[in-house]
Structure 1
Amino acid sequence: MEVIGAGFGRTGTASLRAALETLGFAPCYHMSVVIQEPFRVRQWLDVAEGRGPGWDEVFAGFPAAVDWPAASYWRELAAHYPDAKVILTVRDPARWYDSVAGTIFASALAERRPPPLRRRITRWLVERRAPDFALYPRMAKATVMDRVFDGRVGDRAHVLAVFERHIAEVKAEIPPERLLVLDVRDGWEPLCAFLGVPVPDEPFPEVNEREAWHRKRRGRRLRLVLLGR
Structure 2
Amino acid sequence: MKVIGAGFGRTGTASLKAALELLGYTPCYHMYEVIQQPYRVRQWLDIGEDRARNWDEVFAGYQAAVDWPAASYWRELADHYPDAKVVLTVRDPQRWYDSVSETIFASALAERRPLSPRRRVIRWLVARRSPDFALFPQMTKATVTDRVFDGRIDDRAHVLKVFEQHIAEVEAAIPPDRLLVFDVREGWEPLCGFLGIPVPDAPFPQVNERAAFRRKRPRRLFRLIVRGR
Query: TM-score scaled by structure 1?
Result: 0.99
Aligned twin of 2:209: 209
User: 1:160-186 CA distances to partner (integer Å, 9 max, x unpaired)?
Assistant: 000000000000110000000000000
The root-mean-square deviation of aligned C-alpha atoms, in Å, is: 0.7
Give distance in 1, aligned partners of 2:217 and 2:51: 28
4+ runs of 1 displaced by more than 2 Å?
Answer: none
Aligned twin of 1:32: 32
Give distance in 2, aligned partners of 1:24 and 1:167: 27
Aligned twin of 1:91: 91
Q: Secondary structure in 2 aligned to 1:111?
A: helix
Q: Tell me how far 1:48 sits from its aligned partner.
A: 1.2
Q: Does 1:120 align with 2:123?
A: no
Q: Tell me how far 1:72 sits from its aligned partner.
A: 0.2
Aligned twin of 2:105: 105
Of the structure 1 ranges 87-96 and 43-52, higher mean CA displacement relative to structure 2 is found in: 43-52
Q: Which amino acid aligns with 1:211?
A: A
Of the structure 1 ranges 3-12 and 50-59, higher mean CA displacement relative to structure 2 is found in: 50-59
Q: Secondary structure in 1 aligned to 2:112?
A: coil
Give distance in 1, aligned partners of 2:128 and 2:218: 18
Aligned twin of 1:190: 190
Of the structure 1 ranges 114-123 and 70-79, higher mean CA displacement relative to structure 2 is found in: 114-123
Q: Does 1:176 align with 2:176?
A: yes
Aligned twin of 1:12: 12
Of the structure 1 ranges 47-56 and 198-207, higher mean CA displacement relative to structure 2 is found in: 47-56
User: 1:185-222 CA distances to partner (integer Å, 9 max, x unpaired)?
Assistant: 00000000000111110100000000010011111100
Aligned twin of 1:223: 223
Give distance in 1, aligned partners of 2:44 and 2:228: 21
Give distance in 2, aligned partners of 1:9 and 1:37: 19
User: 1:146-173 CA distances to partner (integer Å, 9 max, x unpaired)?
Assistant: 0000000000000000000000000011
Aligned twin of 1:68: 68
What are the ranges of 5 or more consecutive residues in structure 1 without an aligned counterpart? none
Give distance in 2, aligned partners of 1:50 and 1:141: 13
Give distance in 2, aligned partners of 1:137 and 1:72: 16
Q: Tell me how far 1:126 sits from its aligned partner.
A: 0.1
Q: Give 1:140-155 correspondences, 5 Å limit.
A: 140-155=140-155
Give distance in 2, aligned partners of 1:31 and 1:182: 20
Q: Does 1:56 align with 2:56?
A: yes
Give distance in 2, aligned partners of 1:215 and 1:63: 26
Give distance in 2, aligned partners of 1:17 and 1:37: 17
Give distance in 1, aligned partners of 2:43 and 2:77: 16
Q: Which amino acid aligns with 1:83?
A: D
Q: What is the aligned length? A: 229
Q: Secondary structure in 1 aligned to 2:91?
A: coil
Give distance in 2, aligned partners of 1:148 and 1:32: 19
Q: Give 1:149-164 correspondences, 5 Å limit.
A: 149-164=149-164
